[in-house]
């Protein structure tokens, strides 16, 4: 069987629409480390903070380590990105009327990484609470 799939390698900046920040590297120190232009760094961080922009892809397109670019973002904004600052949203619950128990067997099946727990017959709230407390104690 002959494969018709062929894909040539292309640099990241050709596969994505990342505009490069000009004059990012000003020079190099004697130890080989790069010296970066402050205004170019600010512009790069500003672009990284736009919604939907991949920090890793931006770093790769500019020839930077993603951890270095992440450090610049944290230093200049004094905070982490919004996705990393997710907060809990309050919710309200309402008691639903208890449905009439239908004829037949009732079953409750709990699936988790370590296995499965099956409870057959009517499951009372206290029984379920005990099972969940035991699972929480083992975690």
Q: List, for residues 3-41, the tens digit of each pLDDT value.
A: 555 555 555 544 456 888 888 989 999 999 999 999 999
What CA–CA distance (Å, rounded) separates 119 from 134?
14
Looking only at the bridges linking them, the beta strands covering 25-28 and 107-112 are unpaired
Helix extents (H) in 25-124: 38-48, 55-61, 66-77
pTM over 0.75: no
The pLDDT value recorded for residue 37 is: 93
The pLDDT value recorded for residue 13 is: 46
105 band by pLDDT with thresholds 50, 70 and 90:
low
Q: What is the dihedral of CA 8, 55, 53, 37, to 10 degrees?
A: -100
Q: Over the stretch 35-81, which tens digit does the pLDDT of each residue have? A: 999 999 999 999 988 888 889 999 999 999 999 999 999 888 876 55
What CA–CA distance (Å, rounded) separates 48 from 52?
9
Q: Over the stretch 84-100, which tens digit does the pLDDT of each residue have? A: 556 677 777 777 776 66
> Averaged over 104-131, what is the pLDDT?
75
Instruction: Please indicate whether residue 116 or residue 57 has the higher confidence score (pLDDT).
Output: 57
Radius of gyration of the chain (CA): 27
């Amino acid at each position: 069987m002959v494969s018709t799939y062929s894909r040539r390698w292309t640099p990241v900046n050709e596969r994505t629409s990342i505009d490069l920040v000009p004059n990012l590297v000003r020079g190099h120190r004697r130890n080989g480390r790069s010296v970066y232009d402050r205004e170019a760094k600010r512009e790069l961080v500003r672009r990284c903070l736009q919604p939907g922009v991949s920090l890793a892809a931006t770093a790769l397109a500019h020839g930077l380590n993603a951890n270095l670019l992440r450090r610049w973002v944290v230093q200049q904004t004094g905070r982490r990105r919004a996705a990393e600052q997710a907060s809990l949203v309050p919710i309200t619950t309402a008691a639903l009327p208890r449905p009439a128990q239908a004829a037949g067997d009732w079953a409750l099946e709990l699936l988790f990484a370590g296995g499965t727990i099956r409870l057959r017959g009517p499951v009372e709230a206290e029984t379920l609470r005990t099972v969940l407390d035991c699972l929480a104690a083992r975690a």
